[in-house]
Structures are given as C-alpha cells and as structure tokens.
C-alpha cells in the first residue's frame, strides 16, 4: 500500500493463479502457536506465522497504573503493541509511534468486546504484544497471540479472537498477505472474528475494493479466521496436556 | 447526580429510542445532521476549509514546503496528516501530547486520502531522490459534538481541493499553481445502537454505541478505507449494508467537498 | 522586531503620516467580536481583528487537572494560548513552544488579576485560545476573545480586559501594529487594561523607546483599549439579545 | 504551622512594613541588595560570569559554535538563550522539563539582549545563508532568593562582554578574537507592595507582591524591554515612574556588567 | 499477605539459606543457572541472538546503516547500544520512557562491548569524516528472572558474532560480508547475601541482595569493565575475589557466545 | 576511553614517571571543599578539584515528589547529577542524558548504603549535583560535594563518602585522572569508600586491566580516598568554626 513513487513493482500472481510464495488465493501461511511461553506473565503465547514472530503476555487482573484510569464497575483493558527495532527491514526507532498507538487502541477495543470485564472492577488487564520479526499481518498475529495469552491467564471471555488479513493482489482477493503482497497489493483488510457470534470486533481496510470484492473478502476472511481458531484451541489443549510452565520461546 | 450516572441514563434513553427507529434529535437512522463547508477560511494557509456537521467543526489548513522524498519512494512527494483535538473543542479533550483518539482520527483520515490517491504524490516530486514538496494536512478541531472523522476528512479534502502550490514563493517555478485533486474520498461513520445502525452519530450516541464503523468511498464506486472502532461488533452483513449506505451519503457530500456550501 | 540581518526593509510611514495599510497612527484595524461561538464550551468568543482570527473558549469552574494544582482558597486559572500549524506563513510545528508558554503565563496572570477566584475554591477555570490566522497582535486578540468568553461563561470579574499593542514605526508611535509593522518596526508594546481602575494587568515591551515615547505609547494604548472595550460590551449585548447559542464561528 | 499559613503571615507583615516605607531586610524601597559579578568563572565556556544579587546567584556560560543562519535572516548569526532553574537552587524548583517560570526568565532576558542589540548578529555571519556562528547563552541558577531576572541578565551581559569567538579552534579564522559587545542592557525589577513600589524584590517580597514590573534600559537612554508579571496591576503613571527609576539603577549596575566587581 | 510482606519473608529466607552456603533453587554460590544462546533468531536483523539464563531471556538484533562518523572520531564507525526492558518481560517494568534500570543495563553492556574493542570501529569507517556504518545493538528483554546484565551482553556479543554488514544492499560494496568480532567480553554478575557472594542472581536474590557487582572479562585475561550496583558494599578483597571467579565463568560462557548452544 | 578513531594521542607519562601536569602517579590534583555554599538549601558544598567545579545541595527530609515513590519504612534518596551546558568543551544540550541518569542512580545507591534512611520514613532526601566545569572525575567530585552537603544538612550517616578515580596511563596505574589522561588512557576506575568499614559503595571500571593491576588500583584508590576524607572533615570543621552561613560559591 505504500508503493506510490516506489522503484519497481513485482508480479504478484502467476498465470496459474498462484501467489509469490506458491500459495493458492485462499491459503494461509504456516502458523505455529505456543501457549505459555513466558514464566513471569500471568498468561502468554508465542506465535510464528509465516515470517512473523510475535510474543504476547498478559498481566492481571491487577492494580491500575496510572490510577486515574481505574473504573468502578469493570476492569480496564490496556494494550501495548510494540515493534522491536530490528523487526523490520529499516531499523525502527524504539518506542511507540503513531501506528503502534492506533493498533494498540483497536486491539484493546476488540478485547473489550469479548472479555467479561465487569467481573474484575477496579483492576487492569494489561496485554503486551512484542513484534520480534515482521512480515505483514503483525496486528492479526499479535491479536491471536494475545487472545491465547488471555485464555492462558484464565481471563473469562465470550470466545477466543482469531484474526487474519485479506487483501487484493493482482486483481484477485487473497487470504493472509505476506510483505511483498501487502506493499504492492491493491488492498489490505485485517479483521478479527468472534467465532461464536460470527461478528467482527476488529475491521480495518485500505486500498481499492468494489462492494462485491468487499463481500468476497469478508467471506474469505471469516473462513480464514475459523481455520486459525482451530489452531488456537489446539495450542491451548497442548498447553494443558503438558506439565505446567514448560516454557521456552523458541 | 454524577456525570457518570447521567451519562448512563442518557445511554439507556438513546438505546430505547433506537429500538423504535428514533433518535434524540429527531433524525432517522440514515439521516445526517446539517453539513456545511467553507473553503478558504484561513489566508495564511496554502489551502483551507472549515467543515461542520451539526455542532462539530474542524478547520483544516494545508501547507506546502520544499523537502526531500523518502528513500523508498524517490519519485514521490511527502504527505503528512495531523489532527489536533485541542481542549478548546470539547470538555473531554485534555492538554498534552496527542491521545489515542486524536491519533486514530489522523490516521483514519490519512489512510482515506492516501488510499483514494486524492492527490498524485508523484506530481509533488521536483527532482527524484533530491527534492519534493511536503504537503502538510493539519486539522484543528473547533467543536466536538460527535463524528469527528467524517468532519475531519471533509475539511481535509475540501482544503486540498482549494490549495495552491506556492512554487513561486519557494523559487521552484515561475508561478504558483493549483494543487490537482484527482479523487474525492468521503468517509461515512455509523454506530450500532442495539439492532439499529445509525449514520453520523452525535457525541452522546458515540458514548452509547455498541461499535462504530467508518467506510470511505470515492466517486468511482470503490471503497477505499474502513475502520471499526469502539467496543462492539458488526456482522459481515452489517458491514456490507453499511458500505452500501456509505456510497449514497458519499455521493451527496462529495459535491460539498468539491465546491463548498451547505446541505 | 526580528529583522536583524533580514533581506529588505519596507517603508512603513508615508510622507503624509499614513501607514502601510492607509491607517492613521492612532487608528485600530477593523475588529469583529462574536460572543458565544462554540456550543460545547461554558463560554466562548471568536475575534477577527485585522487579518487575525482567534477563537477562545472557557470551561469551568470545574475539577482541577492535574489534581496537585488545586488551591483550597480559590480557583486556579489555567490558560493555554496555542497557534494552529497553518496560522503563520511558515508552518509551525503543532504544540506549545516557549513563546506560547510565556504568553499563556502572562495572560493567565492578567485574568487572575480581575477574576473573583476566591468564589470558587478547589476548582479550575480553563481558558483556551486558538490562533487560527495570525497577523501581529495575537496575544491581544486572544485576551479580548478570552475575556468575552469568560463573561459569556458567567465568571464574575472586576471588569472586562481590553488589550492592544502600541508600537513605533518609522520613528512614530502607532496603535495596533500589523505584521509588516511588527516585523520591521522599532518597538512593540502590548498591554491589557482594567477600564474601571485605569490600571494595566498585562504589559510587555521590546524595541527602543525613550521615556517620552513610553509615556506617549501608554496614553495611546489606553485610548485604544477603551475603544475596544466598547466593542466587547457591544458583542456581549448582541449575544444576549439573540436566542441562546446561535453558534457559528464564521 | 503549615508552610501556607506562615507564608500568609509573612506576606501581611511585608505589606504592613511597606506601608511605612520599610522592608524586612532594612532596605529602603529604592535600594538594591549587594550586587557582585565575577567574570571568567568557568574555563570550559567561551565566556562566563557569576552574578549575585544578595543570595540570588546565576552563572552564565557562553558557547559559540559554527552553524547555519536562519533562512529569513541569511546575513545574521544565531542567538539562543536558555535559563535552567535547577532544583539545586531553590526548594520551589522541581526536576523535569522547564516550567513556565524558567521559560519566562529565558525569554525576558533574551528580549533584552536582542532588543538592545547587545551584540551585532550580522558580525556573527561567516558566509551569508551558509555559515554563521551560533551563540548559546546558558544561564544556570545557583541560588534563588528573589529577583532572578535582573541577576540573570547581569550574568549574561557580563559573560558576553568577556567572551571570545573560538575562530581558530573551529578553523574559521587564523586566531580567536573577542566577541564585540555594543550595548549593555540592564534590567531592573520592581514589585508593588500596597502603595509602595519596591526595587529588587526578595523571594518573600515576590510572594507578597501585587504585581511585578521589569524595565530594561541601555546606556543611550532608551528603554529596550519591559515585562509585567505576577497577579496585580500598574497604572500608566506607575510605569513611567518605574522606568525613570530603572535608568538610575541601570546606570549604576552597568559598570559592574562591563568590568565585574561588586557594589 | 501483601506483596511487600511476602518479599520481606522471602528475603529473610534467602539470607538464612545463604548463611549455610545454599540457594533457593538448589544451586551452590558459584553456580550459574542453565545458559543457552540461539543465534540468528530474527531474519529481519543483520545479526541476532536469543540468550537465556534460566528464565531470563534477552533477544538482541543488530542493524547496520550508513551514516556519518562523529566529528571527534572521524576514522571510526558509530556504535549505539539500547536495552528495552519492555513491560511484557516482567511485572516490575512499566510502559513509558526508559527507567534508570534499563539505562544502566544499556550502558553497562555498551561499556563492556566498547572497552573490550569487541568490534574494530575503524573498520566501520567508509570515508573518513564523511561516511561510516552505524551499528545498532538493540536488546529486547523477553523475560526477567534476574541477572539481566549477563544475559544481555551474551545476546549482544553473540548477535555481533553472527552479523553481516549489508554492504551490497546499501550500495557501499559489491557484496555483503561478515562483521568481524575481535574480542568476546563476558559479564559475570554477583550479589552479596550476608557473607556469601553468589554468582548469577535470580530476581528474588537481587531483591534480597546487599550489593551487586558485575565484572566483564575478555579472552586475553583482561578485566574490561565493572559495575557495582544496588545498595550495599564490597571490600577490595571481595572485588579481587569476584574478578578471579569472573574469569572462570567467562571462559566457560565465551564458547557459547561464539558458537551458540547451551550449557 | 573514547579515543577509537581519534585524531592524535598525546604522551601521558614522561620517562621520569611524571604525568602530563607534572604529578606523580599517586598524587591527587589540588582540591578545595567549601561546606555550606548555598543559603537556600538544607545542606550544600562547593568543590573545586583540579579543573572541576561542582556544586551540591541537599533538601530534606521533606515530602516525597512524585508521591508514589514514598516508602513507609524509610526515606527515599533521590539524586540528580546534572552537567551545565557550558561545563564541557562541546556544548551539552541542557537536561539529563543517559550518562547523567546512570551516574545519578549509582550515586543514589552509594548514599543509600550509608544514610540511616529508616529514621525518616515517608520522606525524601534530595541530593542535587551540578557540574559547572568538568575535567574528568566529576562523578567523584559530585559524590564528595554531596557527601559534605548531606553532613551539612545534618543527615545521619555511617560515615562520609570520599571518592576518587584511579586509572591506567602509559601502562601505569595512576591516581585521579585529569581529562587528557581519561580520554587517552587505558582504563578508568572510579570508586567511593566507606572509611569506617573499608568497603566500597561505588565502583565502576572501563578499559583494560589485569587482575594484578586491579588489585593495585584498588589499593591506590583506597589510599586516595582516605586522603580526601581528611579534607572533607576539615571542610566541615571550618564550616562550624565560622559564624553561620557565610555563603559565597567562589
């Protein structure tokens, strides 16, 4: 999407309808989810998704910092999505830029839509997402990791929150864009689904899509989310099959 | 009665009304408040417009200055978008560094302008890799009575449509010339109030809302940007329906963004 | 005043004693004051003065933020004078620079000198001034707007605070400098008057003036303030003659 | 007894004394505390001076570095003034970013230096639009017992008067040479205490004051800067009278600023 | 039982055990927890390594970019070290600007790398005074269970040892080439627990400690850096003894830093 | 120590074993300590040590700012080591950089190791150090000044804290490095001693030293500290022999 005035644009779709990495249009990148990756946190997860590596940790319910954010009738959910300086091609200055702050906000709002926050008045549930290696789709990978971490922390929720981005590359709607597709594609549409209700709690979009393409994208994204949902549940099952806190990020 | 309690009572009332298809200010679910745009409000800017939707007002000023292209886009100018939600405009805004809400407004407007290719950034390049125009889009809230996003984009698109490139002043060309605007993205924001999805929410409706959804469309029938915000959820069918409605409102408001006036 | 080493200096005073815009030395620029310009604020005003456009809003008395500024025996008066990025020829970076912070301080002190702050202990009266288009004299325009906004908010005060800058251009003392006069003139002296007592609560000066010129400047400035005072009262009369909250900045 | 209460009792006492033309430290209303200036206090600076008025002390250091002229003044060097009111110097100063009080001191001193044309900025230009000296005037409070502004300007003017342009070190010229100071502005600060207007206020008098007025004069009989501060008011006749008194004190203190020493 | 009280009980217990030469996790006073290093963890970095000591984990990524030498070292590249103690890694870290603890980790690691002349900065100079490589060493804590400093330096040295200079990508040379690492500094941290001085403290031991001492050694038998931290004291004989022990552990851990693996 | 890639390296040790300023290897630079240099502070001291000029002030025990740092069982000791912009050859930007923050931390920890903080629960003891002219060894000079200031403020302590840096120049271990020695020497090792116990509460080191050189450095440093200790006690004796608050930094 940031390609205006860029040097050269690659071919994103082969005549056979295969993508730059050989995937079909409706195919996810490989995804590996490890619940309980950090011993210090109340809940945690490590996600490798294509060439993304994302760690998430949950602390809480605990005291609210800063104090004036405390709410009398429910927990506040604070999210901090952060990218490591070395996670992208050009070194990123440490600290939260505007993009990270916006993503932190929409992820927090997504979780507020499913967590039973009124069970923990006057507390904070802090969700931390660290992107260690980025290759498009980090907000979705972060959401998936954080959602598993919340479950690992025992925070009661309506449901897990699978997430995936759909996009448009070479004129076709495609699932789960990787970096080159995201950079040079025509549209990007990340979403997060509540599987139980079939509703979306995160939805953003940028690019060009007709109403028909939007409809097609939403359908494809929902299917992708349901596929990821199974992997999330599997990761949590594995976590509790193991002896507690086996640890190890990698 | 504390502010918190009165807000809760108001929320209940808004939701009760919505269940009957009604709104506090008498509008139907698919009706905008009055909209007006006054281009050229600020003489010190290279382009400007004051947009109002109801009592929400955003003043946008454009400034163009010579600068350098980014290394990864050597043939393009630079576009920088910033929204200042100053405490003058609402009791809920505080002085200090930009809050997440202000950042979201900036970024959502920025995405719509950029994705719609509102201006051709390559035409803002003077010498590849060396010199290009930096186009600052600064939006200043002057009143926040709900639906800042739509108001902000209206002000920005109109300000761009009436902007001049100060090429003579900066000794880049013989004469100043108008900034060319190729597309006119319009953002339409909706909120869920129970089973009703209402367009152009007021401040109180935003507080009562169970989800907010913004869809930006252009004049060629394309959706160019979307943003779901606040706590709450939308089904895929909701999204499709909202997109359809966004085109209808977008076509109506686009005339204002081009020429100014009120509707 | 910032003209050292600048490119060229214009002629500021004609042989007939007229100024760059045809005004006499003791003549104000046109001024238009609209009380009650913002519905959200407790009080507000919009001022167009020459080529200045300034909006002011007052919130309060209300809770003090940050809390530790609270005073047990009176209201604190907080002022924020801010310039929009596009309000000046060269784009200004958003946020308060040192100049804005100094002006905020002297304006707050001017209002503290006339507001009956002891009537509202443990509260804050917040005065916000946004300069939208600047052409010399913005602190005076801001003070006039904020003073009308305080009256509009029903804050009890000794008196309104008219303000104007006097300066020295082409060797002569002149009322209400515009931008070219301010940039290339020899002195600038903004002041704010309490009409009832005839005393000054804001006074700054920069440039070169003999004691005689200072005396002349003070007299001219006081006359200018009294002229503006009438316009401020007229704006408030119009405000209350109208049906409430007619609104509209422009 | 709380700090607040004791401050209030002290204020009443100061005002009572003032009504009789007296001050807590025995001075008359038109008397300064002892003033001293020690130039050359800091060897690492290109110029420096430690100024004291009573127990108020400000150390100023000058640094000159090659830089670029501002685009709108291509033929002039750059002057940058900064006052650090560090918490070491008073229990009322806190660590952290500069507070409004520190900003006011910086800006008032800066205006006096600039308006008086203390140094000829065009002589700090090396190559127009390309290269010029940047002259940093950094003032560091070492004790705040009232009247920081006058003390700060004394330290700054004296430091400038004893500064050297490090032209050799930065390979701009063959040899270093003294910075030329053309004018010697002196600031005199007064406070209203009831009907009395007293010069050179102490910390407690500033707290008791019903208005503060600073007037900067130069050696040619010109007023070059003024600043009214704090809550309170002055009549135009007060201002004229204060200006007259500022010239008398200014002429006396100017000798110290030029040469150092005490009075 | 409050956090404060339980921490105090734990401290007493740790000190009691130490008096008998024992530790909470069964180690002896001169034993490290398990140590492992995984080089090449991050593909987007020019070099990277994930180091773990027990449950403490630090991920280091190296980035090299063309830049300019500092004026006072015109023949050298630039090395920049930064540690992010992100709140994900421990309940004791808070969001916001770097706290003194994070700054200390960065600076202690930076000193060890620099003093040991781990990389030859002059080889990172491309054109004297004009162009040189800037080498960013960014360390990201992923788990803080005590002894961050040793873990951080292990991650940094290993990441440097596995880094590539992206000379082709930045069009500085025909091909990328490995960054040459000349020395392998290893930091060993000790805490005083009563009369015992224990190596590789856990989080709880650091809280109980009466002083912390870090010694960095290189493979040539030199001490290259030291840092005493926390409240507490060491006698000169303690320091000499700790240095001796640091060499033993250093020699053992250096192999891991070079090649990766676990011990 | 910052000499990699620098222009030229001077000769630091003469064939006769004398240093760049003629000192022997175990010789301190001249040091002058004035206790009670600031009237506003609860305790203060001014130290001239070689070409260093450092002022220190102590305020407290007093209320804790910010409040959340307050400790129920003891005073918190906060230290702020700051360098004036003009104190070094190349102008330093005002405010605390990372180096200053690290030094503030280790100095605070050194004082916490000797102050009887539990005598003043829920208070703060604030130690401010301003470096006005720097020439290597400023953290030690600051520590010495602050230690005398603490004594001047009547804060109960185990002992005063003399401090000095030892280094390696021209291959030899030398006491109390000056700037050229620090810039081009082979090692720098600042330390602070509790004379009563003979233990070190501050110790840092950077450079190259064999274990034997370390042992030699520690012994030399301890001797240097004991020499400075005498001067510190003498300064305090002079302070109390004088009539109170004779003042004057220079």
Q: Where in chain C are the domains?
A: 31-239
Domain that holds residue E197: 28-262
Instruction: Give which of D213, D61, D205, D59 is closest to D143, Cα–Cα.
Output: D59
D87-101 pLDDT, tens digit per residue, is 999 999 999 888 999
H or E element: which one contains E66?
A: strand E56-67
F174 vs A84: CA distance, rounded Å:
43
Percent of chain A topping pLDDT 90: 88
Residue B45 tokens read as 């800017």
pTM of the model: 0.95
Average pLDDT, integer, range C72-96: 96
Per-residue pLDDT band for F231 (boundaries 50, 70, 90) equals very high
pLDDT of residue C66: 85
Distance from the D81 Cα atom to the nearest Cα atom in chain C, whole angstroms: 11
* More confident of the two residues B180 and E6: B180
CB contact under 8 A, B88 and C38: yes
Interface contact B94-C65, CB threshold 8 A: yes
- With a cut of 70, say whether residue C7 has pLDDT above it: no
Residue F15 main-chain phi, psi, to 5 deg:
-55, -25
Average pLDDT over chain E, rounded to an integer: 95
- Residues in chain C whose Cβ is within 8 Å of chain D: 1-7, 90, 98-99, 101-102, 104-106, 109, 112-113, 189, 194, 197-211, 214-215, 218-219, 222
Which CATH number fits the domain that encloses residue E66? 3.30.230.70
Q: d(Cα E224, Cα E128) in Å, to the nearest integer?
A: 28
Spatial separation of the C-alpha atoms in residues F25 and C72, rounded to whole Å = 62
Residue A38: pLDDT over 50:
yes
* Average pLDDT over chain C, rounded to an integer: 93
**Position D5 confidence tier, pLDDT thresholds 50, 70, 90:** confident
Asked whether the predicted pLDDT for residue E127 surpasses 50, the reply is yes
Q: Is F4 within 8 Å of E103 when comparing Cβ atoms?
A: no
Average pLDDT, chain D: 95
The reply to whether residue C7 touches residue D228, judged by beta carbons under 8 angstroms, is no
The residue of chain F with its CA nearest to that of D96 is F95
Chain B positions in Cβ-Cβ contact with residue A207 (cut-off 8 Å): 115, 224-225
Superfamily of domain A31-239: GHMP Kinase, N-terminal domain (3.30.230.70)
- Please report the pLDDT score of residue A250 as a whole number: 41
Q: Which H or E run includes C153?
A: none
pLDDT tens, residue by residue, E183-231 = 999 999 999 999 999 999 999 999 999 999 999 999 999 999 999 999 9
pLDDT at C5: 57
pLDDT at residue D157 is higher than 90: yes
Q: What is the per-residue pLDDT for C242?
A: 62
Residue D20 within any structural domain of the chain: no
pLDDT in the model for residue D224: 98
- pLDDT at residue number B85: 96
Query: Into how many domains does chain E fold?
Result: 1
Q: Do chains A and B touch (3 or more CB pairs under 8 A)?
A: yes
Is residue D146 over pLDDT 80? yes
Average pLDDT over residues C155-163: 98
Q: Which of F139, F162, F160, F161 is nearest to F224 (CA)?
A: F162
D67-70: Cβ within 8 A, 24+ apart: D67/D131, D67/D132, D67/D133, D67/D134, D68/D130, D68/D131, D68/D132, D69/C5, D69/D125, D69/D128, D69/D129, D69/D130, D69/D131, D69/D132
Structure tokens at B88: 């003058």
Report the C-alpha gap between E39 and E162 in whole angstroms.
Answer: 7
pLDDT for the residue C6:
56
Task: Find residue B50's DSSP bridge partners.
Answer: B38, B59
Q: What is the mean pLDDT of residues F151-155?
A: 98
Is the distance from CB of B111 to CB of B225 less than 8 angstroms? yes
Residues of chain B where predicted confidence (pLDDT) is lower than 70: 1
More confident residue, C214 or D3: C214
Confidence at C250, pLDDT banded by 50, 70, 90: very low
Are the beta carbons of B143 and C38 separated by less than 8 Å? yes
User: Across the interface, do F250 and D38 touch by the CB < 8 Å criterion?
Assistant: yes
Model pLDDT, residue F242? 62
Of D76, D107, D224, the CB nearest to C207: D224
Q: Indicate if the pLDDT at residue A15 is higher than 60.
A: yes
- pLDDT, residue C3, reads 55
Q: Say what percent of chain F tops pLDDT 70.
A: 93
Tell me the ipTM for this assembly: 0.94
Are B139 and B59 in contact by the 8 Å Cβ rule? The answer is yes
Question: pLDDT grade, residue A248 (50/70/90)?
Answer: very low
CB F55, CB D58: distance < 8 Å: no
* DSSP SS3 for F117: helix
Min mean pLDDT across B49-53, D186-190, E92-96, E247-251 is at E92-96
Output b/e per residue, E127-162; b: 16+ Cβ within 10 A: eeeeebbbbbbbbbbbbbbbbbbbbbbbbbbbbbbb
pLDDT digits (tens, 9 = 90+) for F84-103: 999 999 999 999 999 999 99
Task: Enter the DSSP assignment of C220.
Answer: H
Q: Per the domain annotation, does D191 fall within a domain?
A: yes
Question: C102 contacts in D (CB within 8 Å)?
Answer: 100, 103-104, 107
Q: What is the pLDDT of residue B154?
A: 98
Whether the pLDDT of residue C248 is over 50: the answer is no
Of D77, D115, D234, the CB nearest to C207: D115
Encode pLDDT of E55-105 as tens digits: 999 999 999 999 999 988 999 999 999 999 999 999 999 998 889 999 999
- Residue E125 pLDDT exceeds 50: yes
Quick one: pLDDT band at residue A13, thresholds 50, 70, 90?
very high
Q: Which of A84, A104, A133 to mutate to test the interface with E (most CBs of E within 10 A)?
A: A84
CB distance F46 to F246 below 8 Å? no
Contacts of F145 in chain D (CB under 8 A): none
Q: How confident is the model at residue E1 (pLDDT cuts 50, 70, 90)?
A: low
- The string of pLDDT tens digits covering residues F105-117 is 999 999 999 999 9
Query: What is the distance of C-alpha B60 from the center of its chain?
Result: 10
What is the pLDDT averaged over residues F165-174?
A: 96
Can you name the residues that pair with C48 across neighbouring β-strands? C32, C53
- The chain C residues in contact with chain B (CB within 8 A) are 38-41, 51, 53, 55-57, 59, 62, 65, 80, 82, 84-91, 94-95, 126, 128-130, 132-135, 247, 249-250
Burial D5-30 (b: 16+ CB within 10 A, else e): eeeeeebeebbebbeeeebeeebebe
What are the phi and psi torsion angles at B91 (to 5°)?
Answer: -65, -15
Binning pLDDT at 50, 70 and 90, where does residue F247 land? very low
Q: Which residues contact A100 (CB under 8 A, 6 or more apart)?
A: A81, A82, A83
> Using one digit for the tens of pLDDT, what is the confidence trace for D220-232?
999 999 999 999 9
What's phi and psi for A91, nearest 5 deg? Answer: -50, 135
pLDDT value, residue F246: 46
Give the model's confidence band at A5: pLDDT under 50 very low, under 70 low, under 90 confident, else very high.
low
Count CB-CB contacts under 10 A for residue A93. 8
pLDDT at A3 over 60: no
In this predicted structure, the answer to whether residue C117 has a pLDDT above a threshold of 70 is yes
What average pLDDT is seen over chain A?
Answer: 93
pLDDT of residue F158: 97
């Amino acid at each position: 999407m940031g390609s205006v005035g860029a040097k050269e644009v690659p071919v994103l779709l082969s005549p056979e309808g295969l993508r730059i990495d050989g995937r079909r249009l409706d195919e996810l990148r490989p995804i590996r989810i490890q619940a309980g990756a950090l011993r210090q946190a109340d809940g945690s997860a490590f996600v490798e998704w294509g060439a993304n590596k994302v760690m998430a940790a949950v602390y809480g319910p605990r005291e609210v910092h800063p104090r004036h954010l405390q709410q009398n009738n429910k927990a506040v959910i604070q999210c901090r999505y952060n990218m490591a300086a070395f996670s992208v091609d050009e070194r990123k200055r440490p600290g939260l830029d505007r993009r990270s702050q916006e993503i932190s906000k929409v992820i927090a709002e997504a979780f507020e839509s499913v967590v039973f926050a009124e069970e923990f008045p006057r507390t904070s549930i802090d969700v931390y997402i660290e992107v260690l290696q980025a290759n498009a789709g980090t907000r979705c990978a972060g959401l998936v990791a954080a959602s598993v971490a919340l479950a690992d922390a025992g925070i009661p929720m309506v449901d897990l929150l699978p997430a995936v981005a759909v996009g448009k590359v070479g004129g076709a709607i495609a699932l789960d864009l990787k970096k080159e597709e995201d950079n040079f594609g025509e549209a990007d549409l990340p979403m997060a689904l509540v599987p139980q209700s079939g509703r979306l709690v995160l939805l953003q979009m940028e690019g060009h899509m007709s109403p028909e393409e939007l409809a097609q994208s939403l359908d494809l994204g929902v299917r992708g989310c349901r596929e990821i949902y199974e992997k999330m549940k599997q990761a949590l099952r594995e976590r509790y099959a193991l002896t507690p806190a086996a640890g190890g990020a990698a | 009665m504390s502010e918190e309690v009165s807000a809760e009572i108001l929320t209940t009332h808004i939701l009760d009304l919505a269940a009957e298809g009604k709104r506090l200010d008498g509008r139907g679910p698919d009706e905008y408040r009055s909209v007006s745009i006054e281009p050229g409000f600020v003489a010190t800017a290279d382009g400007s417009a004051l947009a109002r939707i109801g009592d929400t007002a955003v003043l946008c000023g454009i400034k163009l200055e010579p600068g350098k292209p980014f290394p990864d886009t050597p043939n393009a100018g630079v576009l920088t978008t910033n929204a200042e939600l100053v405490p003058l405009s609402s009791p809920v805004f505080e002085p200090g560094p930009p809050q997440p809400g202000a950042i979201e407004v900036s970024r959502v407007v920025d995405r719509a302008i950029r994705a719609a290719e509102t201006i051709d950034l390559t035409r803002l390049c003077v010498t590849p890799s060396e010199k290009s125009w930096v186009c600052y889009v600064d939006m200043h809230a002057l009143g926040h009575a709900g639906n800042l996003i739509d108001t902000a984009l209206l002000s920005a698109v109109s300000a761009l449509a009436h902007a001049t490139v100060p090429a003579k002043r900066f000794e880049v060309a013989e004469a100043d010339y108008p900034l060319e605007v190729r597309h006119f993205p319009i953002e339409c924001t909706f909120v869920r109030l129970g089973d009703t999805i209402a367009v152009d929410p007021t401040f109180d409706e935003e507080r009562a809302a169970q989800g907010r959804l913004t869809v930006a469309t252009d004049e060629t029938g394309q959706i160019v940007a979307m943003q779901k915000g606040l706590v709450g959820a939308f089904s895929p069918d909701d999204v499709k329906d909202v997109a359809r409605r966004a085109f209808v409102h977008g076509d109506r408001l686009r005339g204002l963004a081009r020429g100014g006036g009120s509707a």
